[in-house]
Amino acid sequence: MSYLGTALHALKRNSEALEMMERAILADRKNPLPMYQKAKILESLESFDEALEVLEELKEYAPRESSVYALMGMIYKRLNMNDKAMLHFGLALDLKPSATDVATIKAAMEKLHLPDELAEDS
């Protein structure tokens, strides 16, 4: 169900994608993937507060998952809450993410230090 939700999101059928993620979450509460995907969909819809709520709950199920903290950092960055963004990026790095994720997180951290007009160009 999680993969179907991801496919629906790719097709811009976001309400159906969110519904599918809810079903996947209810079907297997211990699987963190549908909750993470739901948060990603909400983030793409700019429903930042809802996405953060999902991620806060997800931290209880997957407390050592760096991608959860990285996504929280990205959301806080988009909300111009740079201190919280930096904190969550740092937590994500402390959890030893993959090399690809490290590069993405570090690039996002560097953009926090740029003036807005320069950050948008990169």
Q: Residue 122 above 50 pLDDT?
A: no
Give me 17's structure tokens. Answer: 């994608």
User: At 93, which amino acid appears?
Assistant: L
Q: How far apart are CA 32 and CA 71, in angstroms?
A: 14
Query: 67: which 2 tokens?
Result: 């991608």
115 has pLDDT over 50: yes
pLDDT score recorded for residue 13 = 95
The candidate with the shortest Cα–Cα distance to 70, out of 51, 48, 93, is 93
Residue range(s) of every CATH 1.25.40.10 domain in the chain: 1-63
What pLDDT score was predicted for residue 113?
A: 78
* Each residue's pLDDT tens digit, 1-43: 888 999 999 999 999 999 999 999 999 988 999 999 999 999 9
Average pLDDT over residues 99-110: 92
pTM, 2 dp: 0.87
In the chain, which residue ranges form alpha helices assigned H by DSSP?
2-10, 14-27, 32-44, 48-61, 66-78, 82-94, 99-112, 116-121
User: Does CATH number 2.60.120.10 belong to domain 1-63?
Assistant: no
